[in-house]
Structure 1
Amino acid sequence: MRKNNMLIVVLVLLPVLTMAQSAAYKVIFDITTADTAAQKAVIRQIRGISQARPEAQLEVAIYSEALPMVMKDKSIIADAIQELTASKKASFKVCGMTMKRNNVDKSQLVAGVDVVPDAIYEIISKQHEGWGYIKVAQ
Structure 2
Amino acid sequence: MKKLLIMFTFLLGSIVCLAQANYKVIFDITSKTPEAQQTLLRQLNGILKGAPDAQLEVAIYGDALDMVLKDKSGVAPAVSELLSQHKNVSFKVCGATMKRNNKTASELLPGVQVVPDAIYEIITKQREGWGYIKVAH
Tell me whether the two structures share a fold, i.e. TM-score over 0.5: yes
Q: Under a length normalisation based on structure 1, what TM-score does the superposition of the two structures give?
A: 0.88
Superimposed CA distance per residue, residues 76-116 of structure 1 (whole angstroms, 9 cap, x where no aligned partner): 11111111111125110000000001100001101110000
SS of aligned partner of 1:133: strand
Runs of 4 or more off by more than 4 Å in structure 1? Answer: 6-14
The within-5 A match list for 1:1-138 is 3=1, 7=3, 11=7, 14-15=10-11, 17-23=13-19, 24-87=22-85, 88-138=87-137
Greater Rg over alpha carbons, structure: 1
C-alpha contact 1:81 1:112 (8 A) present in aligned 2: no
- 1:15: Cα distance to partner? 3.5
| Counterparts of 1:104 and 1:61, CA distance in 2 | 17
Structure 1: runs of 5 or more not aligned: none
Does the residue aligned with 1:22 lie in a helix, a strand or coil? Answer: helix
Stretches of structure 2 that go unaligned for 5 or more consecutive residues are none
Give the stretch that moved more between structures: 18-27 or 67-76: 18-27
Give the root-mean-square deviation of aligned CA atoms.
1.7
What is the aligned residue count? 134
Residue type matched to 1:109 in 2? L
